[in-house]
Amino acid sequence: MIRVWVLGWILVVSLALPVEAIVWCHDYTLWQASGEDANNTSPAELRSRLGQMNYKRFPFTNAARMPQAQGKLRPGDVVIFADAHSGVVNGQGLIDHFVQRSGASGTRYTPEEVQKLDSLHRDWTLLDILNFKRIGPQGNEIFPYREAAVEIWRPGQNK
């Protein structure tokens, strides 16, 4: 009887969760690049899926910090900042990226919900992201992406 109750409860909870869910920045990036449902996508999974979709990787580590680097980006490019963050280049050549809301880490959002969040940042430059800062628990400034190695993943001809 307990077993049936537990299975029933699991079913009710799973039906209440969104079918498509974006939790992390890599989920948002993969969803933008492919339209696929992506839940808790790791950096390795993101890279693997991009490779399967015929994206080609270009290391961009030092070049990303040069003023002319922004001009090298093309719409549809995926930008990965070490294993810490990712985003997608939009039609204006700027980066759209999702940052988890403070205090809401692990929250699942449908793609429609993400579009309305203030933590979906649109039209950022490479330097905007590299210089992005958060305020730490002791009030200190944290620059999580400043020293990140940057990769550009560009869609291939047969995407």
What's the rounded Cα separation, in Å, for the pair 38 and 23? 8
Tell me the pTM.
0.83
Residue 13 in any domain: the answer is no
**Amino acid residing at 29:** T
The pLDDT of residue 1 is above 70: no
Residue 144 in any domain: the answer is yes
pLDDT in tens, 57-97: 987 766 788 888 999 999 999 999 999 999 999 999 999 99
Helix axes 25-34, 43-52, angle to 10 degrees: 10
Residue 87 in any domain: the answer is yes
Residue 46 in any domain: the answer is yes
Query: Which residue range is the domain that position 25 belongs to?
Result: 20-155
Residue 147 in any domain: the answer is yes
| pLDDT given at position 15 | 40
The pLDDT of residue 12 is above 60: no
Q: Which two tokens stand for residue 23?
A: 């939790």
| pLDDT given at position 83 | 94
- Share the mean pLDDT of the chain: 85
pLDDT in tens, 18-50: 456 899 999 999 999 999 888 889 999 999 999
Residue 55 in any domain: the answer is yes
pLDDT in tens, 101-136: 777 778 999 999 999 999 999 999 999 999 999 888
Indicate the number of domains in the chain.
1
